[in-house]
Structure formats: C-alpha cells, structure tokens
C-alpha cells in the first residue's frame, strides 16, 4: 500500500519540486499540501506546471491538515527556517495524540544542528522546538548508511555540494589545510519571494558574491562533516549569485598532505561514492546543464603540485533540496533509494 505524504510550507519553489517528484513516486501519494497563505486555493494556481496532475486538489487548511495526520504518513517540511520547527512540533503533537506514526524530513535549517545554542548563534534567534533535536539527525544519504533517528534534517542546497566535496577529503585524511570553496547558485536558491538580488534586471547577465566568508551554511557544513567523517574541516566559503534560475557549480581547493598524488585522491572519491546511485565521479570537470532538473550530482577532482581542486555540480532544488528529501524518505521507509528519482535532467534547457 502507498504511504500518504503531507507537505508543509507547500507554496515555495522547493515545495513545488517536491510535489512534482511525489506525483510520479511509486510508493508515496499526496494526502495534503499545507500552505497557510494559500489555504483553499487550487495547487495549480500557484504551480501551473502541475495542472492536470490532481484535478481539484487544493492547499489544505489547518483543519484538513489535522485530518490528514490521523493516519501514518510521511511529512516533508518546506517551511522557512525559524518557522519550520514550531510547525513540526505541532505535527508531532497532533500525530502523537492519535497514535499515528510519522516520519519527517525537514528541508529548512531548523534541524541541522545537534544543539539549540549552535543554531541560535548562527541564526540569531531562539530555536522553535529544542526538545525535538535529539530525534533528528542531519547528513546526506551518501554519507550515512542508515538514519539513526526517526526524523531527518536535510543539509540544504549549497551544503549538499560542499559536503559532497569535503567529506571524502576529511574521511580519508587527505588534507590538513583549510578548505577554500567558491560556489555559484541560481536565482531559485533565494526563494520565491522577490528580492533585490533575484530581480531579473539585476540578475540577468550578472554575477556577484554575497556574504563572503560569512555564509550561514559554512558552520552547518563543518558540523555535519565532523559528525560523518570524524574530522572537522576549516571551511572558507564564498557564495555567488549566478545569471541562471537553477543549479549550483562549486569549486573546492585544499593543500594535500605530502606524498599524496592524483591516483590516491581520485580513488578516495570513487570509493566514497561507489554505492551512491546519484553521485558520479567524472573524468573531466562537470557541467551544470548535465544535472539540472534531476537528482544526480557530478563531481571531478584535479591534482597538481600538492593541491587538489574538487568540482561539483547539482540542481539546487532537486538534489540540493526536494530530491534529497525524497531520497531520505525512501530510506526511512525501506523503499528503493532511487524510487521516484531515477529520471535524468533534461540537459538542453
């Protein structure tokens, strides 16, 4: 029998991608899509690309959300950071009161830290549900064989690219130096609400750095990398806004330990992702259009004169968010990890 799926914060770009992926999933079926600002509106009025998939399907009201939680279900939270934790707490309270078993994958930043004070130092506000942190863990599926908690906090888009690059470097002890990373993201990474940095005349044919060396994803990546590799990196990250809608291109550089060569480095990455169906180590530096629209990530490594450069490309909305969340949900329910995600991106967009 299919598992009912509930989507919280269901009107943003990530939620739209999640609904698109769930529409073709063989094991999950949409039970409710909750959006407080759009309750009662047809889903296709916000996401016209979903027209015809669920005729008459509307965003759920709080009462309808409560009704959906009367049954065991998978819950995906796409609510903003700072708001998601309280909403998740409410969901667990409603579900627990009815003895309904739920598994939650949160795509916000609210469950990426193991301790509330670490979250509060980065985000500048109190955590919305610190009592829930012990039942959440944060990692990429590629870096943890199985979930050791009932619920998952997804690392996020830039963090996914950074972790794919840095975890093998740290796990295999390839470097003692700081990791210097520069990444470019598409405008969808800034969310659906229009901002000065996503306004088309500013973004078109333009490129610029933002929050250099101070981006909030850097300490998140350091914490998650330490948890899965046993080594905490010193990450120096400069993000950039690119003149395209979706995708991330990331370059990470570091000094290798003495006597290490290209063969050992490449073998470390190939071994790290040998059983990862969505991560592919390529011979030459990967190209963004080869992955946009799909849940696949491509990466390559170059070594010269004691230095390594790691290149990663992925779709920020799919592998970096909605697709990664579905991948974790597949794991939590014992489904094939590739269920609903195997289709490649369109490439020639």
Give DSSP secondary structure letters for 196-256: TTT-HHHHTT--EE-STTT-THHHHHHHHHHHHHS----EEEEEEE-SSSS-EEEEEEEEB
Q: How many CB atoms lie within 10 A of CB 96?
A: 12
Beta carbons within 8 Å of 45's beta carbon, 6+ residues apart:
38
Residue with tokens 């799919």: 318
Q: How many CB atoms lie within 10 A of CB 213?
A: 11
Residue of 73, 157, 166, 225 marked catalytic: 157
| Residue 61: closest CA among 33, 82, 87 | 33
Rounded distance between C-alpha atoms, residue 296 and residue 288, angstroms: 11
What torsion, rounded to 10 degrees, do the Cα atoms 339, 340, 345, 349 define?
180
Yes or no: say if 164 and 140 are a contact pair by the CB < 8 Å rule.
Answer: yes
Rounded distance between C-alpha atoms, residue 291 and residue 309, angstroms: 20
Rg (CA), the chain: 20
* Catalytic status, residue 157: yes
Q: How many CB atoms lie within 10 A of CB 98?
A: 12
Catalytic residue list: 157
């Amino acid at each position: 029998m299919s598992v009912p799926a509930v989507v919280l914060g269901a009107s943003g770009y990530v939620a739209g991608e999640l609904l698109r992926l769930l529409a073709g999933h063989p094991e999950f079926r949409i039970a409710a899509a909750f959006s407080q600002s759009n309750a009662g509106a047809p889903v296709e009025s916000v996401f016209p690309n979903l027209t015809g998939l669920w005729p008459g399907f509307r965003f759920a009201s709080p009462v309808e959300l409560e009704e959906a939680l009367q049954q065991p279900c998978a819950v995906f939270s796409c609510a903003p950071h700072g708001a998601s934790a309280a909403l998740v707490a409410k969901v667990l309270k409603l579900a627990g009161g009815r003895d309904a078993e739920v598994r939650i994958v949160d795509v916000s930043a609210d469950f990426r830290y193991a301790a509330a004070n670490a979250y509060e130092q980065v985000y500048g506000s109190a955590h919305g549900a610190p009592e829930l942190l012990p039942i959440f863990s944060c990692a990429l599926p590629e870096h943890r064989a199985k979930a050791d908690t009932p619920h998952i906090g997804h690392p996020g888009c830039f963090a996914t690219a950074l972790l794919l690059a840095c975890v093998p470097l740290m796990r295999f002890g390839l470097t003692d130096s700081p990791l210097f990373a520069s990444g470019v993201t598409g405008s969808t990474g800034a969310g659906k609400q229009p901002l000065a940095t996503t306004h088309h005349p500013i973004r078109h044919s333009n490129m610029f750095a933002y929050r250099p060396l101070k981006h909030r994803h850097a300490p998140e990546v350091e914490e998650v990398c330490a948890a899965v590799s046993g080594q905490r990196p010193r990450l120096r990250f400069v993000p950039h806004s690119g003149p395209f809608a979706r995708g991330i291109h990331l370059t990470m550089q570091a000094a290798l330990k003495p006597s290490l060569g290209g063969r050992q480095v490449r073998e470390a990455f190939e071994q790290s992702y040998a059983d990862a169906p969505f991560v592919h180590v390529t011979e030459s530096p990967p190209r963004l259009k080869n992955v946009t629209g799909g849940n696949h990530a491509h990466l390559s490594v170059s070594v010269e004169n004691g230095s390594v450069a790691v290149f990663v490309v992925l779709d920020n909305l799919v592998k970096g968010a909605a697709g990664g969340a579905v991948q974790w949900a597949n794991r939590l329910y014992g489904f094939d990890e590739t269920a609903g995600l195997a289709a490649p991106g369109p490439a020639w967009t």
